Amino acid sequence: MLLITEEKEEPRLYSRAPRCPADVVDPKHQEIHAELERWGAWNAERYRAGESGSVESRYREQTPPATGQNVDPRMIQIERAVLWLPPQHRDTVRMFYVSRQDARTICRVFTLRYESFGQWMFTCRAMVINVLRQIGK
């Protein structure tokens, strides 16, 4: 009688696969990455955390709103494209480009595996490109 013994492998807590860096951008997405970087910087200076202009503006003299002549129209197009994204993708783009969160924080918030973060960002950038094409810009 032949007995086959199976060796049980202990469960591993961590993957032995080498970690890929999260800041690597696919060559096809270099252009949209640069535009999203500009958009993130533009958004960061427009919206600052902790400011509430709604209540204070009621008690101060109203100034005419800025006409927006110095705003790059491409930033407005990217803003619209990002707002059209599904909530998880939109928040990921906002966290990565505007508030400059690191990949580990974003993975923790959206319960993503760190190894899949590069693919997740690739998908987010591809969605922005597709929405820009859809709206004809």
Specify the pLDDT at position 70: 74
DSSP states along 80-108 = HHHHHS-HHHHHHHIIIIIS---HHHHHH
- Give the mean pLDDT of 116-131: 93
pLDDT tens across 22-42, in order? 667 888 889 999 999 999 998
pLDDT tens across 58-77, in order? 455 555 555 555 778 889 99
| Domains in the chain: ranges and CATH | 27-45+73-134 (1.10.10)
Average model confidence (pLDDT) across the chain: 79
